[in-house]
Amino acid sequence: MPDSQAKYQRLDDPGGGPGGGPATDTAPEQQPARGPEYCELEVDEPRGFGDDDDARYYEEFSSYDQRSAKAHTWRRKRFSLAHVCLAVLACLGVYVAASVIWSSATGGKGAATSPPVGSDPSATNAAAGGGVHGDAISGSAHGDEVPADRTGKKLLTYDNVGGVNGLVQTRSLDWLAHPSDPSIDGLYREVDGNEFVVRSVANATWQHTLATRADLIKASLALGTPFTPLGWSVSADWEYMLFNVRSERVWRHSVRGTYLLYNIHERTMIPLTGTGNDNVQRIEWAPSGHRLQFVRDNNLFVTDMMHEIQITEDGSDSVFNGLADWVYEEEVLGSAASSLWSPDGNAVAYLRIDDSQVPVFQYELYHPENRSAVYPEDIRLHYPKPGAANPRVSLFVYRPAFGRTALDLGPATKASDSPDTDFRPQQITFEAPFDPADMIITNVAWLTDHSDRLIVYIMNRVQSHLRVYLVSTDPKSLRGKLVRERNTADAGGDGAWIEIGPPPIYVPANTVGNLTSDGYLDLVENGEHTRLALFSPPDAAQPARWLTAGDYDVVGGSVALNRKSASVSFLSTQVSSVKFNLYHVALNGAGAGGATPPQALTPRTATSASRRLNAKGARDGTYDARFSAGAGFYLLHYKGPQLPWQAVYSSADPGFELVLNDNASAQRELDRYRLPKTEFLEIANDAGDKMNAMAIYPPDFDPSAKAKYGVLFHVYGGPNSQHVSQAFGLDWMSALVSQQDVPDMPWIVARVDGRGTGYKGRRFRSSVSRKLGVLEPADQAAAGRYFQKQGFVNPHRIAIWGWSYGGYTTTRAIERHADVFRVGMAVAPVTDWRFYDSVYTERYLKTPQENASGYAGSAVTNTTGFASARFLVQHGTGDDNVHLQNTLALVDLLEANNVPGFEMAVYTDSDHSIYTHGVRPALYARMVNFLFRSFHELENKQFDYWRHADPNDAANRAG
């Protein structure tokens, strides 16, 4: 279930959050162009559970796929012509003109032809009436003209919007630590032509070559294996490289892959493992040296390149070691990783997740493209639904026996073979534990530079009670000591959920003069907001000091510690709840009590080397930042609302700047377009709360027009999410507001974050606890009534759509507020929370046994609103997340009540993202078609078979 917040990332690396969703990105960061075979390896880094960047909310922000959209262009054209034909029937005098339009649009005589790819855009405009072609932007798949307005500038279309959005380039820096000198910071790895190199942001002339492409090809030929890597990484000592040469997606974050190892000094290539190398489920380098841990067949292994040790032996379809099961991956960790190297590489902490009591959900994949697959493939998935048994989770620590025992290690052995029990897996027990059936381990982190101490966060099943444990990993005292806890059900609490935060960051003693014992940084709710706290000593029940204070939130997953300067950097909402800006604060400072408050690092006021960054408004907006290994440098990503840019800055030298990408060329090209206009505003709900909102207007928007524009609400609304964002992005809705298919039906797109969403305080967020689907659609309806009162809006032309939780909010809005929303379009919606997973659902609704009325009141059960509206529901048959069961239950309810005006589309074998077989463009095209057609039918009272009068009934009444 997408939820757009970055919840489960480590503190020093921003990312995304659950149920399905980051955050506010319009798209994940793109790698620089390096050739098709050299993308970066998605390998777990040794910093915390939930390391992988979360791709949540991907569906809400995806644009048309420029390549596959071509095959579906006809859908939009046929629909447009249907409306033209309706106009022809009303005015027969223009019949001939309409016929000409039909001939042109369907490729008859007079259709525009496409110039060669890569031809000069200005020449293209002259020759083809404004069509732009080339690698970055293309016009219609059929050579259609790109429309221009009266200024001569081009407009977005459904076909070109993906290419236009693709002009905006972003890149990432894969930061590395120096293998022997921690004082050297600002290093990163990349592929430069035919070389795999390490470079420095501080010294443009310094370069360390790890390997050349020729070296790698030669080594792979000697191994007898083709070298076609999908990604790569390098060990902490820079002695080995790891290449992923095959990858198969499993769930949202998990993959199975094949891996090769390259010895940099010997220039030789070997398989990662002697057996089962095609079934490696996750892999992670140690933070020092060149040890690897990996999972195969749900068992955890370690290797030092000479010996492979199997740590666990009970992995099965229902037991997961060092690997998250489905619900932990999706809702708790936001990653496939459930094991973690110690900082010195001498120990591994890992979860054992036992699904043997979790019920199995089964669905089928049909594989229509495989003509030999006559019978569908059965997929069996341990999937706990509300009230059902959850996974049983336990925590272990293992110290590899490499070189430390008398054990004669062969090439492969088992941990259970060690004669020293200290070098076998050791289970951690906990003081005052939750019942094993009522326990979720949400975070594990090492509070050390060695391997002697862990901190563990454990919640109860409904996530209203948090206990924090300190664990000594001495084999003689493996017991977690309870050091602090929070229970929202205690007196004065609201009884709502506690957010799963990112792992804490270890702070060694004497990092600053007055820090006499070790400690850690953590994000803690204090009153209405999430604040940054320093705990010292590690077993302290209360913070030694609060580093932030005020009516704003520190953004989870954004915190970085610079030990050298004894300072902390972080993103926060201090300026606005829809703007993330970067700050830093001294460890011995704080935002209260007269101490030094955090200092803003954005927007920077210094003159930039880039003219684009110096332009008016180019720095005012929302940011992201990723810090180097020592936090001495950071890649600053300005995300919008203006065109994004990226630059590297120094934490110590305010004059240092390295502009990576100012998107100046993209700006010049986009200046040739009349893009939609965006306004950020606040709208009051019925309770008087001010809700963040944004409106996307057509390029030629006329605020003085009378009842001209319809409003399409794009909704998400999931708990602690954020949908209103200042991040730049263009998608199919950008084309919708720019379209001229139906000139008398122009659109505005609106987004509103109502109660339950994040960054507006705990009261606002937790108000939906125990009663999902009541306040969210009510707040969208309040925003709908606000727009209905605007003179330029047609009050009868208000629609709503959303995906996943947004699909649920859409469905509930039609059920409960059809007086406002006359058309709804839901993609992959939840329709009854009994059908969704237990960890997400019980966080907000509690268990069905505790809150039966909440479950009953949150399900879609009343068809009255659907009878007076138009409704479209779309779903993938292979959705492992929000099961098709939800849509089928809703459709059965509508059909059983003989409800007219709804349509359904299913996409064979597609999961929650609905990509399989290139069907995403068809999904968007169907929504465009349905939106226009529905309002045409509603406004023209087209004959409806489902609602026609029966003459026999009239005769019977007369008799």
Q: Which residues are marked as active site?
A: 804, 879, 912
Looking only at the bridges linking them, the beta strands covering 377-382 and 392-398 are unpaired
Angle at 145 between CA 143 and CA 150, to 5 degrees: 175
Q: What kind and span of H or E run contains 634?
A: strand 633-640
CA 889 to CA 883: how far, in whole Å?
11
The CA–CA distances, whole Å, from 291 to 162, 231, 344, 453 equal 42, 19, 11, 20
**Residues 390, 365 contacting (CB under 8 angstroms):** no
**Quick one: which of 726, 379, 425 has its CA closest to 575?**
726
CA 87 to CA 127: how far, in whole Å?
31
CA 756 to CA 771: how far, in whole Å?
10
CA 734 to CA 675: how far, in whole Å?
8
Written as six digits, the tokens of 805 are 């939780």
Question: Residue length, the chain?
Answer: 959
**Residues 621, 597 contacting (CB under 8 angstroms):** no
Query: CB under 8 Å to 156, separation ≥6 — which residues?
Result: 164, 673, 675, 676, 730, 734, 735, 738
- Write down the number of H helices and E strands in the chain: 19, 45
CA 610 to CA 763: how far, in whole Å?
43
CA 771 to CA 63: how far, in whole Å?
33
**Residues 217, 238 contacting (CB under 8 angstroms):** no
**Quick one: which of 556, 594, 595, 599 has its CA closest to 574?**
599
CA 451 to CA 473: how far, in whole Å?
7
Q: Say if residue 541 is exposed, middle or buried (CB neighbours under 10 Å; 0-12, 13-18, 19+).
A: exposed
Query: CB under 8 Å to 799, separation ≥6 — which residues?
Result: 710, 711, 712, 713, 821, 822, 823, 824, 825, 931, 934, 935
CA 261 to CA 271: how far, in whole Å?
6
The CA–CA distances, whole Å, from 604 to 40, 364, 599, 807 equal 30, 53, 11, 39
CA 266 to CA 277: how far, in whole Å?
22
Q: Give the three-state DSSP class for 856.
A: helix
Q: What kind and span of H or E run contains 765?
A: helix 762-766
Beta strands in 250-317 (DSSP E): 255-263, 268-271, 280-285, 292-296, 299-303, 308-310
The CA–CA distances, whole Å, from 226 to 218, 243, 260 equal 10, 12, 11
CA 714 to CA 794: how far, in whole Å?
17
Query: CB under 8 Å to 384, separation ≥6 — which residues?
Result: 327, 358, 359, 390, 391, 837, 838, 839
**Quick one: which of 829, 778, 764 has its CA closest to 801?**
829
CA 869 to CA 850: how far, in whole Å?
35
Query: CB under 8 Å to 358, separation ≥6 — which residues?
Result: 318, 325, 327, 382, 383, 384, 388, 389, 390, 391
Q: Give the three-state DSSP class for 321.
A: strand
Written as six digits, the tokens of 745 are 């039906």
